[in-house]
Chains A and B, each alone.
Chain A
Amino acid sequence: MGNRMRAKKHLETTKSASTIIKQYYAEQREKQSKEGQPVAWCCVGVPKQILQALDILAFYPEQYATVCASRDASERFIKPAEATGFAKELCGYARVNLGFIMEGLPEDAPMGGMPRPDFLVITSIVCDTRIKWFELMADMLDVPVYLMEVPQMPPAGRLGPAGNNIATDVAGIQVGREDAPHLEAYAMSQYQGLIEFFENQTGRKLDPQKLFEIQQASKKVGKLRREINEYRKNIPTPMGAGDAFTAMFPGMYMPGTKEADEFYEKLRAEVKQRIDSGTGIVNPERFRLAWSGIPFWYNLGLINYFEEKGGVVVIDTQYGSAALTINKTTRQPGRWGMNGMVASVVRAVVDYNIDGVILSYTPTCRALYINQLEIKNTLEEEIGVPSLLLESDMVDPSSFNEGQIMTRIDAFSELVAEKAKHRNWAAS
């Protein structure tokens, strides 16, 4: 694939993201060698603030798999995992990490690899696959694992309206329903259990005041990111998904730090300045796209390919836009259920003035790939928006069929560019 498919960053601030990521990993490395420094491997969704308050060094295997993929190193670990009998249809993130463990956690891996953990922490809010994958890693590494189980319910009613969600503010997660208070109680017990697990493993006591301060501080990053996403609705958009994927690391993994706050403040200023000067990603901006699903991390440059045709991927619906309610569809937006996902994409299309949607079909990710056809159907049936299903794994480059994908993208771009001439979301 070579360099051609590496992501091209348009914004100066995003270009500096890789320095921040490198610094972050360097600091982590320095810290991990300190005597008595506890190290955890976690999955996204584990409340970072508790880890920070207890000074536990956290590494994220799924994020690490994307690091390997974007540095052409994922195959090195996928191969030994498959040779041991882990099927090719298993989660790409999992195969990279299982292989990394089998290879003995090599330090010459990208970013110096991840250090041996003292324990693993996992939550059920992302997918069921992670539970099996982390359980297996804990077994291979011979370390304890804690599962913070968070029950999730579909909204009440057949089509999902009026689901009165109970939010557990502290954990920042959404569980249960009014008719299922037992599930909210369980989620809280799991959160308490997580704190006890950390305290037992590290011999440290959580300082509630310190946790509160970290929680307060980490709110800022979320607010800044939402604000930036609002600006992206502008025509022409000041920032597309290509830059946004690169820019998501500090928000996802470094909330509450000065570096993350400064990074997004700078990004916000640059985005505003681009709006003021009318600077888009392409000029003229012929058509606007949304990206649904996980990007192909070894091939982020695919997103820039549309720019050659005058198109821009304005928003991604997995990490980018946060949807609340909408009247455009019979279903209500939500984070994880299929119907909620469908409605979130419809909402993003209307809000961001989108002409077509790219559906990344990552066949090893059960939780996401299963939604994609329903998203495609609904976009066509309910709002007449074309979409393109692109099939490839998120970290395994051997699954990418370049010739076929490019041909389909070319045809789709023509279709969407034509459609964009009659775009009229404001009137609908």
Chain B
Amino acid sequence: MAEEFSRERELIGYFCDFVPEELLHAAGFTPIRITGTRKPVSLADRHLQSNVCSFARSCLELALDGTYAYLSGVVIPHSCDVITKMNDLWAYRVKRPDFCHYLWYPHKVNDPNARSAFIGEVRRLKSCLENLTENEISDVALQDSILLYNQNRRLLQQAYELRETNPPALSGTEAIEITLSSVLAPKEIHSRRLTRLLDSLKAHDHPGNARPRILVSAGVLDDTDLIETIEALGGAVVADDVCTGIRYFWGDVREGGDPIEAIADRYLNKIPCPRTFDSTARIDFLMDNITRYNVQGVIVYILRCCDAHLFQMPGLQERIKAGGVHLLHLQGDHSAPISEETRTRIAAFIEMMGD
């Protein structure tokens, strides 16, 4: 699919959800999120031991085996100690693409000085892209890209609203398919198809049995396996706290004024990754969504060794349980299919909620 898209418009890959896609798009590229697979890792074993973040290892594997050779560039942000090092490895060990850009992103997203610094970083990315394409990125192009990306965000928001009903008009599996295709596909195509889908969903009734309503909280979720498993075992995933889900699209870019500042502000004010200093906004947002989506149980799926999530886990657990909501903590592993043990635990959790 990606290779097909790359024939239309060159692709730039990026990690995490702090890289301003509007800017990459205005420069003439289609930005796509770097994701991994659950395939066993072999080439990356030589560079990262098996107990390093399984998501990072999987992404590196695909970079080394040439899967990402169709990219015309890669942008790696300062996310965490591990993703930061993807820049070093990509720059030194992966031969293509030539354009490998490191984007600093602050921890103190609410600090006015950090805002100035990040605006500077977005401007630096802009001029590096201009050097690469030998074309100036105009304010008009930026405004157009902002409108395109905002439109997609609003459509995704509408899709999520369909999950508030009981039973939900859109399953969790369908919802993650929609957001994952959004991080991977050109927005022009995605928005067109999503509009058609939303129209048809709104035109029909959605009968079905009420099932335990579940929110999935995870770091990166780049396939449908976990949510599909939960739904196959009888749960209804009605909401998420995932950087490839609601955290990806929540919050628009201001339309009007200086486009670079507007873009920088959106990425600073977005629902934070727990890696960010003072990321309570994430937990507040998660708690609000428990109410909004009438959630009965939360399944937390944290990849092994993800410090940012793990440090917040005991506090989060306490807050969720204090609200009378059930919680299941699963240790995630990106390099293997959902295990039999995990299935059994999910099944027991759903059964308990059904009682």
Tell me the minimal C-beta distance from B293 to chain A in angstroms.
Answer: 25
Measured in the bound complex, the distance between the Cα atoms of B86 and A371 in whole Å is 11
Measured in the bound complex, the distance between the Cα atoms of B104 and A132 in whole Å is: 18
Asked if B89 and A338 make an inter-chain contact with CB atoms under 8 angstroms apart, the answer reads yes
Q: Can you name the residue of chain A whose Cβ is closest to the Cβ of B117? A: A186
Assess whether A324 is interfacial by the CB under 8 Å rule: no
B57 to chain A, nearest CB (A): 10
B277 touches A374 (CB 8 A): no
Interface residues on B, range: 35 or more
**Minimum distance in angstroms from B240 CB to a CB of chain A:** 22
Which one of B52, B104, B108, B314 contacts A369 once the chains associate, using CB atoms below 8 Å? B52
Query: In the complex, which residues of chain B have a beta carbon less than 8 angstroms from the beta carbon of A317?
Result: none
Q: Which residues of B contact A377 (CB under 8 A)?
A: 46-47
Residue in contact with A374 in the complex, picked from B89, B308, B310, CB distance below 8 Å:
B89
CB pair B47 A90 closer than 8 Å? no
Does A209 belong to the interface (CB within 8 Å)?
A: no
Chain A residues positioned under 8 Å from B51 (CB to CB): 89, 363, 369
Residues of B with C-beta under 8 A to A366: 80-82, 305, 307
Per-position binary interface string of chain B over residues 37-80, scored 1 when its CB falls under 8 Å from any chain A CB and 0 otherwise: 00000000011110110000000000000000000000000101
User: Is there an interface contact between B85 and A338, defined as CB atoms closer than 8 Å?
Assistant: yes
A89 touches B87 (CB 8 A): no
Interface residues of B in 92-142 (CB under 8 A from A): 92, 98, 100, 102, 104, 106-108, 111, 113-114, 116-117, 119-121, 123-124
- Does B151 reach chain A (CB closer than 8 Å)? no
Chain A residues numbered 29-68 whose CB sits less than 8 Å from any CB in chain B: none
B206 → A minimal CB distance (Å)? 38
Q: Are the C-beta atoms of B82 and A182 separated by less than 8 Å?
A: no
| CB-CB under 8 A for A185 and B117, given A132-B275, A180-B104, A373-B48 | yes
Tell me which of B92, B100, B111, B315 contacts A331 (CB under 8 A).
B92
Q: Is the CB of A186 within 8 A of B116?
A: yes
Whether a CB of chain A sits under 8 angstroms from the CB of B311 is yes
Report whether B82 and A370 are in contact in the complex, using a CB–CB cutoff of 8 Å. yes
In the complex, A189 has a CB within 8 A of chain B: yes
Interface string of A6-26 (1 = CB under 8 A from B): 000000000000000000000
Q: How far is the CA of A181 from the CA of B127 in the complex (A)?
A: 14
Tell me which of A91, A159, A189 contacts B307 (CB under 8 A): A91
Q: Does B317 contact A (CB under 8 A)?
A: yes
Complex contacts, A185 vs chain B, CB 8 Å: 113, 116-117, 120
Contact B317 A180 (CB under 8 A): no
Whether the pair A370, B52 counts as a contact (CB closer than 8 A) is yes
Bound form: Cα–Cα A22–B46 in Å: 44
A354-381 contact mask (Cβ, 8 Å, vs B): 1 or 0 = 0000000101001101111110010000
Residues of B within 8 Å of A136, CB to CB, are 311-312, 315
Does B88 sit at the interface, judged by CB under 8 A? Answer: yes
Using CB atoms, name the residue of chain B closest to A190.
B113
Separation in Å of the A257 CB from the closest CB of chain B? 32
Q: Which residues does chain A contribute within 8 Å of B107, judged by CB atoms?
A: 124, 128, 131, 147, 149
Which residues in A have their C-beta under 8 angstroms from that of B315?
A: 136, 139
B348: interface (CB < 8 Å): no
Alpha-carbon separation in the docked complex, A193 to B47 (Å): 39
Q: Is B307 touching A149 in the complex (CB atoms < 8 A)?
A: no
B310, A370: Cβ atoms closer than 8 Å: no
Report if B197 contacts A (CB, 8 A): no
Contact residues in B for A149 (Cβ distance below 8 Å): 106-108, 111, 114, 277
B307 and A158 contact, CB distance less than 8 A: no
Residues of the B chain whose Cβ atoms lie less than 8 Å from the Cβ of A367 = 81
CB neighbours of B278 from chain A (8 A): 135
Count chain A CB atoms within 10 A of each CB in B98, B107, B274 and give the residue with the most.
B107
Give the CA-CA distance A180 to B107 in the complex, in Å: 17
Residue of B nearest to A331 (CB): B92
A132 with B312: CB separation less than 8 A:
yes
User: Could you tell me if B313 and A85 are in contact, using CB atoms closer than 8 angstroms?
Assistant: yes
Chain A to chain B: the 3 pairs with minimum beta-carbon distance, closest first: A182-B120, A186-B117, A338-B88
| A-B contacts, 20 listed (Cβ < 8 Å) | A85-B314, A86-B311, A86-B314, A89-B305, A128-B275, A132-B307, A132-B311, A154-B87, A182-B119, A183-B117, A185-B116, A186-B116, A189-B113, A190-B113, A366-B80, A370-B48, A373-B47, A373-B49, A374-B88, A377-B46
- Give 16 A-B pairs besides A370-B85, A374-B47 with Cβ atoms closer than 8 angstroms: A89-B51, A89-B305, A90-B310, A128-B81, A147-B108, A149-B277, A153-B104, A180-B120, A183-B120, A186-B116, A186-B117, A190-B113, A339-B88, A363-B305, A370-B82, A373-B49
